[in-house]
Structures are given as C-alpha cells and as structure tokens.
Structure 1
Amino acid sequence: MTTQLQDAARPYSPAALTSLLSPDTRVLALGEPTHGVDAFLDLRNELLVHLVEHEGYRSVAVESDCLAALTADAYVTEGAGDLDTVMATGFSHGFGASAANRALLSWMRDHNGTCAPEDRVRFHGVDGPLEITGAASPRPVLTALRDHLATHLGPGLVPSAETLDALLGPDGRWTHPDVMTDPGASPGRTDDARELRLLADDLQSLLTAHAPQLLAAASTEAHRRAELYARTATGLLRYHAALADTSPHRIATLLGLRATMMADNLDAVLRTEERRGRTLVFAHNAHLQRNLSSLTMGGTLFEWWSLGAILSARLGTGYAFAATTFGTRNGTDTPAPTTLEGLLAALPHPRTLVDPRRLATALPQQPDLRTPADHTYFPLDPATTDLTDAVVFLPEI
C-alpha cells in the first residue's frame, strides 16, 4: 500500500502546499489536530513567512480572543507595549505561553519594521471572548460601542451610560463559574438580558446606518473596531442566552454560536484585508474543516457546522483548508499500520504533503480511523479527506 500512497504524497514544503490550492484562494486555513504542541505552530510560522514573502499574504488570524488580539496587532504593527506584556494579554486560552507564538509576534514585528504601513502584516483573533469555563461579560464591548456612537452622533440617539450600566448589573453574574454547567445560574434570559439584546441590535443598526458620518468623523480603523465591538456584543448576548437554555440542545447550540462568531470575525478580517492581500488562518482542524463537526459528551452526540464549513459555503473556492496530523507523540501512541497516519509513517519524508484528490485512487481501500490514546487529539477521518485541499503529516511530535 505504501507504493500506491507515494503517488499521492511528496515531501512537504510551503511552496508544494500552495501548489495544491485554487488560484481563487482568499484565505488559507491551516489546522492543527491538537493544542499545546509547538511543532504545528512552528509549521504555521514557516508557512506564513513563505506566504508573506512569495504569495502576497498580508495578515494572519488565529484561534484566539478577537479583543485580546488587538493588543498583539498593535505590537506587531506599531511596536506598542513590550513583548512580555503582549504575550500575557494579547492571547486567550493560555496560548500566550507558547514559544512559537512568541516567535510569531517577534518575526512579524521585525518584518513590519522594514515595511511601508500598507504592507505590514496584521494580526487578528477570530474567536470570541470565550473560555471553556464560560464567557466574558458584555459590558466592555457594549460600553465601548455606546461611547463611540455617543461621541460622534450625540447622546440623543443612544442610551445613557447609566441605563446601560443598570441593565448589565455586576459582571460577576455573567462570568460566574457555575454558569457553564448550570443554566439556572446564567443571567442570559432575564428581562435585563433581553433588553440588552435589543439595545445591542439597535446600536449595531445605528453603526451601519450612520457609517458615512462616522467614517468622516473618525478613522477607518476606529470604525472597524466599533464594528468588532458590535459583533462581539451581539454574539456574547446570544451565547449567554444559550447558556441559560435548559433543553438537550444546549451544548450543540453553544458550539454552533461559537463557530458563527468565529466565521463572522474571519469574514470581517477578509473584507478588511482583501485590498492588501490574502489571509492565513490557524486553528484546530475541527474549527476549519468543511464537514459537519461532532463531539460526544456523557454519551450524547452533539453536531454543528464549524467556522470552516460556514466560510467555505460563503467563499466557495476562495476558501482552502490544509489539515495536519501526526504519527507518534514523544515516541508513544503509535498509529496502527492500517490507519492513514500509520500508512504515512511508512514513507521516508521528514514531513509529508498529501494531495487528497489523488489519495482515493492511490489506495485500494479506505484506511481505518485512528483511535488515539490522547483524548485531546482529534484524528483525521479518512472518510472526509476529500473535503480538504491538502494534508500535512509530521511523523513525530
């Protein structure tokens, strides 16, 4: 079987990867099969350098809080702040502890220091201000959006700061750790929360309706940031409402709402960056895949459409997805020889690039799905590789 697989595989290089993509590609999505492994982030960094220097890419978006990422972007584009502080505050999910993420920001800052402002590589986050333990209070984004509109449109069109503060109440009721597991602890479906959702919708409408005036009064960057605040406010309030849901669909709804927030954020990045260049996005394979995502918790199967599935539906051939997978981890958890990872491990390449379009004809039968020892690793399903544009295999991490 290894001989047949050689027809679909070759040594990996960034140029070999992009040769598999449609010329219409606007965003290249590079996935990782598990978090916390710098080998995949190192691969991302290497790819980004190539894309910037040879393929006209001018931005990178990562699976991290879209608001926190503003701090990281200010550092790489303007040199604002010091790197230690930026690593601590410019990422969510603990990703600021990664040496590869630190190397990414350092390279971007050094590169941008030699560029004209219009050619600088921008840094974006596509995730909402969400963690496994819960979601942020909507206060910061609603307050910032309200203040922006009040400053440029006058106070008559927007609610007072006191009205907003009274509806929000203490932040602790939004961020209490019990909210994630107990719908009854969530304020997401209270009368105040319903009023806040209407208010956020009205503020977002004002932002759109008065865009010409607002753009004339403030910078384009300030307007885009206000749009980010509006998206995040409405997304957070939907998410908090779902946290208060007592139906069996609660978890699937939360996963779908997170995916929607990520898709809308990435869509906004593409609209912002399309005149400057293309975008590399990096996140878990499960967020970027085109096929239906699924997760089993407590014996219950939950399904939802991911960021990648939503963006692929919107962009068509403008969306490209390259999945990554691996063989052994620290010399253990060796994949069975009948799995895709086991077959790829028999090839001699230090890193292997697979063309999924040739994979089906190269193999006489579909490989088995890997059963990993590590529950944080989501194995690549051979039945869905035809929905990827490339697969990158690392023999060992």
Structure 2
Amino acid sequence: MTDHTTDDGTDATDDRRDATDDETDATTTETTRSNDVEPDTTEDVDPDTEIGERVLRGLADHVTPLETTDPTAPRDDLDAFPESVLDAQIVGLGEATHGTREFFQFKDRLIRHLVADRGVRLVCLEANAPETLALNRYVVHGEGDPAAGLAGVYFWTWQVEAVRDLLEWLRSFNEGRPVADRVRFHGLDVQYTAGAVDRLERLLETVAPETCEELADDLATLHDDGERVDEADHSDAREAALARVRDRLGGAADTDSCLSDPDGDWAAATSDPDAMAATDLHLCLETLGGAVEYKRRVADWRAARESVDSTDDADDGRADESDDDRAAESNHESAEAAAMAALLGTRDEVMADLVDTMLDRTGAERAVIWGHDAHVNRDRSGLRDRDLSGTSLGSELADRYGQDYRAVGFAWGHGAFQAIGPSALAPDGSESGTTVSGSQDDGSDDGAGESEDGPSLDHDLAVWETDGPPANSLDAALAAAGHDVSVLDVRGAAGDERVRDWLDTPQRHRSVGATYDPREPETYVVTYPYPDAFDAVVFVDETTAARPLDGRD
C-alpha cells in the first residue's frame, strides 16, 4: 500500500476532516451480476423530524443552479462548481443509482470539463481492471469498438448510451494528440479473475509458450468463468495456484525481462495488436491477488451466513431458548457481521490500490473516478438497512491523499431509473426482458425475489418510478431550492452556522444500487454525515432511466 504523507510529514489521515472544514442487501448481492454496494444506516434518523426553514434557507445559499446535464452543451457554468473539486488531484464522482441517465450524462459533462479544461488525463471506472484494457485501447489508439468493449466488463450498469458517449468523446479528444498527452481509461474493480487469466494466457502463448503450458493447470484453477460468486469455496486452491504463478513468472528466464524491464523485449515481442503490452502482466497479477482475496472474503461471509441460518432453523418451533442457545446465536451473528465488514473493506481497499497503480502506470498527475456514492464517499462502505460498514474507496483515498481527494455525491427529486427488481411490480411496459432471478448460475440458492411481504418473484432489469424525494432528506432540501439541476457546496455549507449542526448530524439520502424493490422504498434511504462524506452533491430534479445499448426501451 502506497504511503502518502503531507508535505510537512504528517499523515494524510489528519487532513480528512480539515478538508471538509475548508452493494445491495445480503441476499440480492449473490444473485445479480452487479457491482453495487450501498451505505449502511448506522445512525438512527427520525424521518418525521422536519427540516427547519433556517436550515433550508442556509442550504439554498450554498446551492448553485447549473444549466443542464447535457454533455454536449457549453460548459461555462461548470466554472461555478466548487473549485476545491475542480482542482483536486483525484475526484470521485458518485451516483445515487446505477441506472439514471441524467447522473451519467452529468458525469460525462463534468469529466469533459476536467479533461479538456482542467488537464485531467486518467479516467477510472468501477469495473474489473483487465476487462477495461480493451476500452483503454479504443480511447487511446482508436482500436476496437466501445460497445463491444463495454459488453466485456460484465456489468449491465455500464452497457448504456451515456457511457459509450463518454468513451467516444474521449477518443475524439485524443485524436491527433501526442500519445503521452492522451487520456487513459481504466477499471478499478477486482471481483472477477477471468479477464486477468485470459490476458495472461494470451501474453504467455505469444512470448513464453513453454511457461504457459507449465502454468496451464494453475491458470485454469484461478479462472472463475466470469462468475463473481462460486458454487463452492475454491479459496485455498486459488491462493496456492496464485502463489505458484507469481513464483514462476517472477523467476523464469523468459519472463524476467518483463518483470524487470516492462518496456523492453516483451513489449517488442507482443506485435499482435490485440495482445496486451508487457506492463499489463503486472496489472493482471495485481488484479488476481485482489480478486482471490475478495473471493475468499465472499466465501467466509457465506459460511458465516449459513451458520446464522442454521441456528435460526434449529430455533424454529422451540418454545424456550436457553442462554447457551442465545449466546451461540449471538456469536454466529457477530461472526457474520465481521465477515461482511471484511468483505466490504477488502474490495474498496484493493480498488484504492489500483488507483495508485493506474496513476503510476500512466504517469497521469490527476484522475477522475466514476463509481457509486457508496464507494466514492469519504465516510464508509456498507449495507442498506444493516449496521455494517467497512472502508470505502473514498475513505481509503482520503487517508492516502488527504485534501487532494474530493468526492461528489448525487441526489434526485422524482422520475425514473433502471435497476434489477421484481418485474411483475414494475410499471407497465418497463420490463427489459433480461432475467436475473435466483436461478442464475452464480451459486445462489437464497431466493432473490423473497420479501417479507410477498412471494418470490423473478427479478429482471426494469424501469422504476419515484414520485418525490424521501421526507426530510437532503434530497428534499435540495428539491426545495427549486432548480432543475444544481450543485450543493457541502464545504461552504458546513461553515454556515445556520446549517453546520444539521449537516454534522447524519442526514437521510436516497441510494439505489443495481437492485430495487418498490415494496420496501424506505430501505433505500441511507444516512451520511455530509461534511465527512462529500465535498459537493449534484441534484437533478427529474430523471429518466439510462438507455441500454442493446436497444431496449
């Protein structure tokens, strides 16, 4: 892990609050191929406590209206965005859902501003790192097709028009520029091993076929077939295989030149335009290390969850429960909570490591990150409706980079978004036809569609409607300001005595990842202590669903 201290030698952790003064629930996590983690509700906030007029007026004074979310529109109004965000070394751009067109469009618009007008040269996406190398080749060299590249990153969330439009703009920006000054585009996530293994095999087949043959069994063990959750726990076998691969590639004569001189002989040998550059070997090994660790955490959590479930089943129908039974149940629940916290933290910590890697790898001085609010915020990464949290990507970056990391959250008033949910309950005509129910071959057997209020339902990608913001939430406060599109300067508002105490208390905020159940809307309301979590919040009053690339309405 890279050590980032401030110029005066103090640890960057000390700057986190100074900077502000100046995944789905546990069941659907396993049943959808998605990359969402949603914040937990660690603080109890009374939804019936109305926001006072003094607070509303104070917030409004720190809200700046913006012209549009349209990325093709003139960008002059974006100069009114908080300067601390625009000039930061690393900017994290969140989203309150994984399926809102206007959030994606605005992020595209702001990224264009950061790239064209502020000199940012690295864009990072919450997607598996090796799989996005094809997208980077398109952005930098114009090779390949962006839609095909997006189809290879697993997540339906990014297979939409708005993300493709950003990639095409980045390509047009790079056209004719010196290669060293071109924008790079890379993924940060580590939930899968397949892409890294496939790229390693291609490189070894080209440059070191004998080594490739020697490692064939270990590479096959590491390969997860593009499935995030395994039917059985393969952690021990994968860890042993990874150790052998690392040892072999680190010591073999035919690979040593790559590891010691990544721009040397191997780079020249990979003449196939579809083969990766030699430096990608390092990225694949790093990604494999993170993915194997992540999958170990998933397996640990599943085992702990099964212990809780078995205890619950044993207690069913019993008239009395002994102290020993209650103690055992409590121990199992504590173990499950600890396993989930470790799972949440592991993924985001490894993503932060990959930010370091990409900055070093590309030579870029500044970067912008595209992800969910739950990841980019500086406070925590957690679960909806559970008092569980771990290190977030944003909190890890704030520890490492101090005031050089800024986070932007998103909120909305009313309108539509796409997400996976019980399609039978979706508005007429909104179902996409993409079934992702519990029968999906991802090792799930927990009944993804189960609800306390109804039977199991097939879960499909569908369009959902909301008719207004949650009561007494930051979303409602920003809606009251009366702008179609706006940005709240959280840092400025935190210094306003009319608002300071309200913001310092965790406030309600609507948050939807890749899944949604309209029967339980309150479970998609989370809390944030805003000055700790975000530097700015973009608000869009009326939203529409992101538009899939496959032509679904």
TM over 0.5: yes
C-alpha distance in 1, partners of 2:340/2:201?
A: 29
1:3–1:193: structure 2 CA closer, same or farther, 3 Å change rule?
Answer: closer
Deviations 1:39-83 (A, max 9, x none): 111001111111122111112111112112111111122111234
Partner residue of 1:261? 350
1:347 matched residue in structure 2: 481
Asked whether the equivalents of residues 150 and 158 of structure 2 are also in contact (C-alpha less than 8 Å), the reply is yes
CA distance in 1, matches of 2:528, 2:131: 36
Structure 1 partner of 2:198:
140
Change (3 A) 1:139 1:71: closer
Structure 2 distance, partners of 1:28, 1:199, is: 37
Q: What residue identity is the alignment partner of 1:4? A: G
Q: Matched residue of 2:388: which SS?
A: strand
Structure 2: where are the runs of 5+ without partners? 1-52, 67-76, 269-275, 305-335, 417-464, 512-517, 544-553
1:308-347 per-residue CA deviation (whole Å, 9 max, x = no partner) reads: 1111111112211111111112473412452211111111
Query: Residue in 1 aligned with 2:326?
Result: none
Do the aligned partners of residues 224 and 86 (structure 1) sit closer, same or farther apart at CA in structure 2, a change above 3 Å counting? same
Cα–Cα, structure 1 residues 67 and 139, in superposed 2: closer, same or farther, change >3 Å? closer
Larger radius of gyration: 2
Quote the Cα distance in structure 1 between the aligned partners of 2:473 and 2:105: 25
1:109-124 pair list within 5 angstroms: 109-124=171-186
Which consecutive unaligned segments of at least 5 residues does structure 1 have? none
The CA deviation at 1:119 is 2.0
Deviation at 1:236, TM superposition (A): 2.2
CA deviation after TM superposition for structure 1 residue 163, in Å: 4.2
> Who is 1:16 aligned against?
80
Match of 1:239 among 288, 294, 298: 294
Structure 1 residue 280 and structure 2 residue 280: aligned?
A: no
**Matched pairs, number:** 375
CA distance in 2: counterparts of 1:212 and 1:181, whole angstroms: 35
Q: Which residue of 1 aligns with 2:113?
A: 50
Give CA-to-partner distance per residue, 1:177-209, whole Å, 9 cap, x none. Answer: 6x8376xx12112xx434213224435755899
- Give secondary structure in 2 for the equivalent of 1:73: helix
Shift, 1:100, TM fit:
0.2
Mapped partners of 2:384, 2:60: distance in 1: 35
Matches within 5 A, 1:29-178: 29-89=92-152, 91-130=153-192, 136=194, 139-140=197-198, 143=201, 150=208, 160-169=211-220, 174-175=224-225
2:412 aligned to which of 312, 326, 332:
326
The answer to whether the 8 A contact 1:33-1:379 is kept is: no
Q: Is the 8 A contact 2:484 2:542 kept in 1?
A: no
Counterpart in 2 of 1:369? Answer: 508
2:58 equivalent to 1:4: yes
Query: Alpha-carbon deviations, 1:288-309, whole Å to 9, x = none?
Result: 1111222157xx6432101111
The residue aligned with 2:383 is 295
2:243 counterpart of 1:198? yes
For 1:9 and 1:333, the matched residues in 2 are separated by 23
Output one character per residue of 1:98-141: Cα deviation in whole Å (capped at 9) or x when no partner: 110111111112222142222222111111253xxxx6486435
- Give the alignment partner of residue 403 of structure 2, picking from 307, 317, 327: 317
SS at match of 1:311: helix
Query: 2:258·2:264 contact (CA, 8 Å) conserved in 1?
Result: no
| AA aligned opposite 2:119 | G
User: Contact between 1:186 and 1:243, CA under 8 Å: does it hold in 2?
Assistant: no
2:46 is aligned to none
Q: For each residue in 1:206-247, what CA deviation from the matched residue of structure 2 results, as whole angstroms up to 9, or x when unmatched? A: 589974444332449834311111101212222333343234
Q: Any conservation in 2 of the 1:61–1:282 contact (CA below 8 Å)?
A: yes
Amino acid at match of 1:322: V
1:45 alignment partner, SS class: helix
Distance 1:11 1:20, change over 3 A: farther
2: CA distance between counterparts of 1:376 and 1:339?
12
For residues 136 and 279 of structure 1, do their structure 2 counterparts lie closer, same or farther at Cα, with a shift above 3 Å needed?
same
TM-score, normalising length from structure 2? 0.60
Distance 2:207 2:259 in 1: 10
Output the CA distance in 2 between the equivalents of 1:356 and 1:376. Answer: 24
Q: Work out whether residues 289 and 388 of structure 1, in 8 Å CA contact, stay in contact via their aligned partners in 2.
A: yes
Partner of 1:388: 534
Offset, 1:359: 2.3
1:384: Cα distance to partner? 3.1
- Alignment partners' CA distance in 2, 1:51 and 1:364: 29
Contact kept? 2:136, 2:186, Cα under 8 Å: yes
2:427 matched residue in structure 1: none
Residue 20 of structure 1 contacts residue 390 of structure 1 at CA under 8 Å; is this kept in 2?
no
Task: Find the aligned partners of 2:280 and 2:521 in 1 and give their Cα distance.
Answer: 37
Two-structure CA RMSD over aligned residues (Å)? 3.3
Are 2:262 and 2:279, in contact at CA under 8 Å, matched by a contact in 1? no
Q: Describe the shift of the 1:137–1:278 C-alpha distance in structure 2 as closer, same or farther (beyond 3 A).
A: closer
| Structure 1 residues 309 and 98, CA gap change in structure 2 (3 angstroms) | same
Rate the CA distance shift 1:334–1:254 in 2: closer, same or farther, 3 A: same
Aligned equivalents of 2:222, 2:259: Cα separation in 1: 30
Give SS of 2:85's match: coil
